Amino acid sequence: MPLSETAESQQLKKEKMKNLLQTTEWNEEEMKALMRSTFYSQRKDINKGTDMKTLTDEWPYLFQEGGMEVHFKNLTGIPLKETFLNSIDRKGNRLLNFMRNVCANKNKGVLQTVTKLQVLRAQRNGCSEDVKDMILLLLSYFDEKEQFLLHYVEETSLAKDVVLENLPVTPCIIVCGPSYYAAVRFMLVVDRKIVNDDITSFISAVCLMFGSYYCFNIHYPIELASVLEFLQRCFFIINPEKGTKVVEKKNKKRLPVNPRVFSLISDLSDHEWRETS
């Protein structure tokens, strides 16, 4: 705990945040300052295994974009959304071009996804649409399971309408609409609980989903291990020399980098070198 803080001052600040969120005129910078000064108490509650319902009741701002960005940066030293957007600007088109022009010629699943995306995306343009393409192409490339990442409901669905029992316990995004190109609202689910039911940007939804793995000490599911590690290393710039966020199987050798992720990164680098030489 910071030297200037006591258990009582931490509790008062936590209650102040909860009360401010009940009003319509709270100031985001004030909320972020309160989040920073109560980071110790947030980590204490998370690390002792507090259930998700209690966390959303006690720390509601943690599950909003501004709150999670503060917590994630305090935890990792990395600005969550800023890092992702900068990486998309620098690497997004290169990855998409590689997937569409190289991988699609070698991988039937990627080719099918490229064809499907041309229909789904239609004439929509923009960074958010590119990220949607990127996520689905990575799922196809690694042959991982979309249902562990995205769950589709009716466009008008409210949080209470969503059937949660069949969702994964790991963080996932609920898409409110028939396709996530048409959707204008998303929800975040963690441990089969909707923790944010009004996310208006897919990029924000991806950042909140990814940030949840770190903020709440959650392992990557095996079903998304390669996609999440690729995003982690290439787009959120978290590159530990050892350790993994994937639940490990017994008697399986631990590798510093997922071999499939390493292979894609190497192929991308080799392709770029040949294209520019």
Tell me, what's the pLDDT at 274? Answer: 58
Tell me, what's the pLDDT at 271? Answer: 74
The CA radius of gyration of the chain, in Å to the nearest whole number, is 20
- Of 200, 204, 196, 205, whose CA–CA distance to 162 is shortest? 196
The mean-pLDDT minimum among 192-196, 231-235, 268-272 falls in: 268-272
Residue type, 275: E
Name the token pair of 228.
Answer: 């999440």
- Over residues 132-157, the mean pLDDT reads 95
Direct distance between the N- and C-terminal alpha carbons of the chain, in angstroms, rounded to an integer: 54
- Over residues 194-199, the mean pLDDT reads 97
- Over residues 251-274, the mean pLDDT reads 76
Calpha distance 234→212 (Å, rounded): 18
Length of the chain: 277
Listing DSSP states for 105-128 in one string gives HH-HHHHHHHHHHHHHHTT--SHH
Calpha distance 27→15 (Å, rounded): 15
Calpha distance 67→65 (Å, rounded): 6
3-state secondary structure 82-108: HHHHHHHHHHHHHHHHHHHHHHHHHCH
Report percent pLDDT > 90 for the chain.
Answer: 73
Q: Which helix (H) or strand (E) holds 189?
A: strand 186-190
For 211-242, what is each residue's pLDDT tens digit? 999 999 999 999 999 999 999 999 999 987 65
Tell me, what's the pLDDT at 277? Answer: 41
Q: Strand, helix or coil at 195?
A: strand
Tell me, what's the pLDDT at 24? Answer: 83
Calpha distance 81→131 (Å, rounded): 13
pTM for the model: 0.90
